Amino acid sequence: MQKNGAGTVDLLELTTAGGCGCKLPLDVMRQFMTSLSGLIGAAPTSEAVKADSSHRDDAALYEIAPGRLLAVTSDFGTPVSSDARTWGRIAAQNALSDVYAMGARPLLALSLLALPRHLGLDVMSDLTAAAVATLAESATPLVGGHTVVSEVPLFGLCVVGEVLADQALLLGNARPGQVLILTKALGTGIVIAARKAGVASPTLVRTAEELMSASNRTAADTAVRCGIRAATDVTGFGLVGHLLNMLSASGCAAVVRAHAVPVLAGVAELLDTHGVVPNSGEQNLFAVEGETTWSDVAYGMRLLLCDAQTSGGLLLAADPAKADAFMAASARDGIPASVIGTVTNGPAGTLEVRG
């Protein structure tokens, strides 16, 4: 709970969907991005722009010198915790993750903050202080931002990073025969919904918040060092939605083994016993049905694979030898990476999930 001048407030009670669960539904987002691509294609652009929204990558890329690119992104959302400092840390990691998913190092950040008037300066200060402390861990200064009044609390960052052109991690670089790797367990969206419903244990909530608070920096650095060049991060569209984006951009298909996908302990019980099903997860599931074949996969597991994550892990596609090197380095560095499937030949942007 968060204390302010008016007493104590539960930030999670101020939103219907926490974090990336508030994202525009996947099917609506696809329609919007298609229309936006037409607008961008009709407008003048600079040759320095190497990736824009039409590429569907996690950040735009802009060439500032031969072989040197800026990675620019913005990401914000609703509360993911009852505590402002915890939310601030997670929101910062979530925004930084878009830069890491491009293989880039962050350079600076701007804050995006919208709060109801009654929350006051204490919440604003706690949110920002936590974000600044998190950014400092990657030597990234917060240099400004924009703050407005809003009935629904929103917080996040615009982040600018830098990457060498030949080291960029891109959605369109996956190839048949590569191995799919996921670096964080799934289920945080379900835990947030269960916390709002009052059926998640304090231990499980704390575990989910720790997972969301963990940085993807080491995983991204390791991927670049191992020669991996295809990646995205798993957020509001769930694992399946973000994987389908990668497969569509790369012109490939894939097979995922559901039993190999890491899931937070206790999340399956929230689904099976308490019936906690976030609307965002259901919407994601419905949106991917046309491109996804489910082979002996229980409905609850389908929901988990489509669960909207906030500050989720990296999803990597790597040649087998590079995947082996990444997994060995991850084991040394304490990155909880898992091999979950393979990229295959097949209709572009299609997925088979096996039990």
Q: Which amino acid does the sequence have at 67?
A: G
What Cα–Cα distance (Å) separates residue 89 from each residue in 81, 157, 236, 288?
A: 10, 11, 18, 31
Tokens of 90: 């997670």
What Cα–Cα distance (Å) separates residue 180 from each residue in 13, 100, 238, 292, 316?
A: 37, 17, 15, 16, 6
Tokens of 110: 């701007």
Q: Which of 182, 285, 281, 278 is nearest to 234 (CA)?
A: 182
Tokens of 224: 């670049």
- Cβ atoms within 10 Å, residue 129: 14
For residue 168, give the 3-state DSSP assignment.
coil
Q: Which of 76, 141, 84, 151 is nearest to 113 (CA)?
A: 76
- Residue 253 sits at the vertex; the CA angle it makes with 311 and 22, to the nearest 5 degrees, is 30
How far, in Å, CA of 349 to CA of 245, rounded? 7
Which residue's structure tokens are 């997670």? 90
Query: Catalytic positions, please?
Result: 20
- Looking at the chain, which runs of residues are DSSP E strands? 2-4, 7-9, 49-51, 60-65, 68-77, 105-115, 142-149, 154-164, 179-182, 230-233, 253-257, 292-295, 314-318, 338-344, 350-354
